[in-house]
Amino acid sequence: MDKMPKWADVILIPLISVVLALVVSGLVVALIGESPWRAMQVMVRGAFGSAYGWGYTLYYATNFIFTGLAVAVAFHARLFNIGGEGQAAIGGLGVAIILLNVAWPHWTIALIAALVFSAAFAAAWAAVPAYLQARRGSHIVITTIMFNYIASALLVYLLVNVFRVDGSMAPESARFAETVHLPGGGDFAGFLGFSATTPLNVSIFLALAACVLVWVLIWRTRLGYEIRSFGHSESAAVYAGISPYRITMITMLISGGLAGMMAINVVMGEAERLVLDFVEGAGFVGIAVALMGRSHPVGVVLAALLFGALYQGGAELQFEMPAISREMVVVIQALVILFTGALDNMVRMPMESLFLSLRRRREDAARKTPAE
């Protein structure tokens, strides 16, 4: 017997967690002498109050959908891939290599090539920790996080020594050709008020398509069935003839590939060149997004939207209320991650006992009524 109705698990608990996080954030804002109410208004207006705000919110959400899906797919195999950050960085490397070295006639073909290269590079980066886990038993949490540092250092080295344009001081690659410019929000949704400068681009449709494909993969294919079986019970998977090695490798390749595709949105869609630290923590936010979204694509989209709004609203907040520094905004975002991810059980357990006692009372009442 389940302890709670499904809607409570999927909607109520994340909602309560977010509200708790916002209340604590409000206390922090009040502590530094600002009005929590006004801060809240600025954040909401900053994220959703204008086409400009929406553009950034959706742009960030696109990143988080990719990294959130990456973590979610791995979760289904009970693999904790916290290397999304590094995998996305290496994915960006793949995008830059293929866009800088080939003269692409049209952005559509370039997009397909960039998709393949970002996913392949990132998957290859994820394959090493996956192999170490599957064959050598090195824990994937440790190895993926170490690979984040290696990826970051590798990217710095390559940007400074290989990609940097002669004569430039900036550690970034040359600008991609005009022909590979992705249509932005102003091009496909100008009627909604998006301008030509919005970072929002067609990658958002890729992200949504990835959600559908991940759903089909996990719940409709034999591979997804095997991934879920393995995730629930490795010993049962072995009994059924499902190879733990194979599932670990394939799952991590898919997970890494999804994380890598995030680079399409940033490197190809927004910056249009490879820049330092372009991932900006999206790999880690993906963990919170997957946790909050219960590893389901629909939940991931909703959670990604929330975190996109927090990113964009937070940026507006430090702009409009100078007393709230950038660090303060990070604190607010961290509180949301803390409450939705790490402190999930704190909300869950009281809610479960509440629902149990409600049900018992209802049943007691039902039992008494006919007798009386």
Partner 1 sequence: MTPTAPAIELKGISKSFGPVQANRDISLSVARGTIHGIVGENGAGKSTLMSILYGFYKADRGEIFINGTLTPIPDSQAAIRAGIGMVHQHFKLVENFTVVENVILGAEDGAFLTPSIAKARKTLTQLSEDYGLRVDPDAIIEDLSVGHQQRVEILKQLYRHADILILDEPTGVLTPTEADQLFRILERLRAEGKTIILITHKLREIMDITDTVSVMRRGEMTNTVKTADTSPAELAEMMVGRKVLLQVDKTPAIPGEVVLSVQDLRVRHGGVDRLKGVSFDIRRGEIFGIAGVAGNGQTELLEVLGGMISASGGSVTMFGAPLDISGGGANGQTRRARGIGHVPEDRQTEGLIMPFEAWENVAFGYHKDPKYNAGPLMDHAAMQADCADKMARYDVRPPNPRLPARNFSGGNQQKIVVAREMDRAPDLLLVGQPTRGVDIGAIEFIHKQIIALRDQGKAILLVSVELDEIIGLSDRIAVMFDGRIMGERLPDQTDQNELGLLMAGVTEGAA
Q: Which residues bind partner 1 (CB under 8 A)?
A: 1, 3, 216, 220-222, 225-226, 228-229, 232-233, 235-236, 238-246, 356, 359-360, 363
Q: Which pairs with CB-CB distance under 8 Å and at least 24 residues apart come from 186-195?
A: 192/51, 192/54, 193/50, 193/51, 194/51, 194/54, 194/55, 195/51, 195/52, 195/55
Residue closer to partner 1 (CB basis): 188 or 225: 225
**Least distance from partner 1 to the Cβ atom of residue 8, Å:** 15
Q: How far is the CB of 242 from partner 1 (least distance, A)?
A: 7
Residue number with CB closer to partner 1 (4 or 262): 4
Min CB(127)–partner 1 separation in Å:
19
Joined together, the tokens standing for residue 96 give: 């830059």
As measured in angstroms, the least distance from the Cβ of 214 to partner 1 is 14
Nearer to partner 1, 277 or 364 (CB): 364
Sign, Cα dihedral of 35, 36, 39, 41: negative
- Give the residue with the Cβ less far from partner 1, 190 or 244: 244
Produce one character per residue of 48-83: b if its CB has 16 or more CB atoms within 10 Å, e if not: eeebbbbbbbbbbbbbbbbbbbbbbbbbbbebbbbb
**Local structure of residue 272 (DSSP, 8 states):** S
Continuous segment of H or E residues that includes residue 39: helix 36-48
Q: How far is the CB of 269 from partner 1 (least distance, A)?
A: 30
* Complex with partner 1: residue 196 or 366, whichever CB lies closer: 366
Query: What does the block give as tokens for 108?
Result: 């559509």
Nearest Cα to 279, choosing from 144, 125, 90? 90
Q: Which is nearer to partner 1, 108 or 357 (CB)?
A: 357
Give the Cα separation of 167 and 18 in Å (integer).
48
* Cβ nearer to partner 1, comparing 38 with 220: 220
Q: What secondary structure, in 3-state letters, does 122-134 show?
A: HHHHHHHHHHHHH
- Work out how close the CB of 4 gets to partner 1 at its nearest, in angstroms, rounded to a whole number: 11
Q: Which of 174, 181, 180 is nearest to 159 (CA)?
A: 174
Compute the least distance from the CB of residue 364 to partner 1, in Å: 10
